């Protein structure tokens, strides 16, 4: 069959293209534009080439923020993914418990990010916060405004509280799609609980886990609001992640050029990591396709 070519059809997608141009392409290009120029007040710009990039990549401040961010992202992934799978496995599959669990799980996801920050900021305070008061009365010296370890613990626990639900809901969706016959066959085959998880549940959760890891990585790598509200990046710079650093640079110091260069590098790093995750986790998937097409 011959395809009908009608170039007029392109006009149909024009509104979308214009919309995307205004919301994404033009702002991005503005950032690219800033990244290669130096600005002075009074709207004066002049070309500096790759200077900001060289400066950024050599800057210790950037390195530290990047390393902090990577540690943060991998820590929360290492906690949230197994925990999310675990909770999803424990959730009931039918009965009145299902809606109850789903609503409970969805609650943290519905709280605005700055409110999450505020909740934990108050929760962790030694004088009026339940958690802070409790820990301190146990004799643990917990003060997230002064102690970097306490600040990190707070930020990580807050993220786990906020986002594990997402992993749970995704995994749960994967689990309930497994037909009952699989579990029955496993019982007949004498499979252990671990074997059921390893050979039935995990493979069926594979694709949703991929989405969960990607989403959680990208989100945590771009985290801003919650730690900004709780610790403001402190104490010192101990919880200053890339985005907090970026805002300090762009708004605080009004260094538009370096901030723009950092934005681009930041963007590329996220892109790179997401690609690596996707490729690695999808490896088994491509193998399957290869087999299916082999016939």
Partner 1 sequence: MARIDLDHIRHSYLPNPASPSDYALKEVNLTFEDGGAYALLGSSGCGKTTLLNIISGLLTPSEGELLFDGKPVTELSTEARNIAQVFQFPVVYDTMSVYDNLAFPLRNRGVPAAEVDQKVNEILRIIDLESKAKRKAQGLTADEKQKISLGRGLVRSDTNAILFDEPLTVIDPHMKWVLRSQLKHLHKQFGFTMVYVTHDQTEALTFADKVVVMYGGEVVQIGTPDELFRRPQHTFVGYFIGSPGMNVLPCEVDGTVARIGEHTVPLQVGLDPNKSAKKTEVGIRPEFVKLGGAGEGLPLKVNAVEDIGRYRILRGEMDGVALNAIVGEGENIPESPTALFDRAQTNLYADSWLVSEGA
Binding-site ranges for partner 1 (CB under 8 A): 179, 181-182, 184-185, 187-192, 195, 199-200, 203-204, 284, 287-288, 291-292, 294
Minimal distance, residue 181 CB to partner 1, in Å:
4
Nearer CB in complex with partner 1: 27/92: 92
Residue the block writes with tokens 């590329």: 268
CB of 173 to partner 1, least distance (A): 18
Our CB check for partner 1 shows the closer of 110 and 188 to be 188
Residue 16 burial (10 A CB sphere; 0-12, 13-18, 19+):
exposed
Q: Are 261 and 53 in contact (CB under 8 A)?
A: yes
Close Cβ partners of 211 (under 8 Å, ≥ 6 residues apart): 170
Residue 21 C-beta: closest distance to partner 1, Å: 42
Reference 53, options 253, 244, 258; nearest CA is: 258
Closest to partner 1 by CB, 49 vs 190, is 190
Residue closer to partner 1 (CB basis): 208 or 229: 208
d(CA 253, CA 248): 6
User: Based on CB atoms, which residue is closest to partner 1, 130 or 287?
Assistant: 287
Residue 46 phi/psi, 5-degree rounding, is -145, 155
Minimum CB distance to partner 1, residue 235 (Å)? 47
Q: From the CB of 87, what's the least distance to partner 1, in Å?
A: 23
Q: Give the angle subtended at the CA of 104 by the CAs of 142 and 224, to the nearest 5°.
A: 50
Shortest reach from residue 176's CB to partner 1, in Å: 16
For the CB of residue 187, give the shortest distance to partner 1 in the complex, in Å. 4
Comparison of 92 and 252: residue with beta carbon closer to partner 1: 92
Nearest residue (CB) to partner 1, 63 versus 187:
187
How far apart are alpha carbons 86 and 82 in whole angstroms? 6
The Cα–Cα gap between 159 and 113 comes to 10
């Amino acid at each position: 069959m011959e395809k009908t070519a009608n170039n007029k059809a392109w006009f149909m997608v024009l509104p979308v293209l214009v919309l995307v141009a205004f919301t994404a392409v033009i702002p991005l290009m503005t950032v690219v534009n800033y990244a290669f120029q130096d600005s002075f007040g009074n709207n004066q710009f002049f070309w500096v080439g790759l200077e900001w990039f060289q400066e950024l990549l050599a800057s210790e401040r950037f390195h530290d923020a990047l390393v902090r961010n990577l540690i943060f992202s991998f820590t929360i992934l290492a906690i949230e993914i197994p925990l999310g799978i675990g909770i999803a496995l424990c959730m009931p599959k039918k009965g009145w418990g299902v809606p109850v669990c789903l609503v409970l799980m969805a609650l943290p996801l519905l709280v605005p990010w700055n409110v999450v920050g505020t909740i934990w900021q108050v929760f962790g305070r030694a004088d009026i916060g339940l958690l802070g008061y409790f820990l301190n009365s146990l004799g643990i010296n917990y003060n997230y405004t002064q102690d970097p370890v306490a600040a990190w613990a707070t930020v990580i626990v807050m993220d786990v509280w906020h986002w594990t639900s997402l992993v749970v809901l995704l995994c749960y969706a994967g689990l309930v799609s497994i037909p009952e016959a699989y579990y029955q066959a496993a019982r007949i085959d004498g499979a252990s609980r671990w074997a059921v998880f390893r050979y039935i549940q995990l493979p069926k959760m594979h694709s949703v886990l991929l989405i969960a890891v990607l989403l959680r990585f990208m989100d945590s790598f771009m985290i801003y609001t919650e730690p900004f509200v709780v610790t403001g990046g402190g104490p010192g710079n101990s919880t200053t992640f890339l985005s907090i650093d970026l805002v300090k640079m762009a708004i605080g110091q009004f260094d538009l050029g370096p901030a723009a260069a950092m934005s681009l590098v930041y963007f590329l790093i996220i892109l790179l990591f997401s690609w690596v995750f996707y490729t690695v986790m999808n490896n088994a998937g491509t193998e399957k396709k290869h087999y299916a097409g082999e016939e």
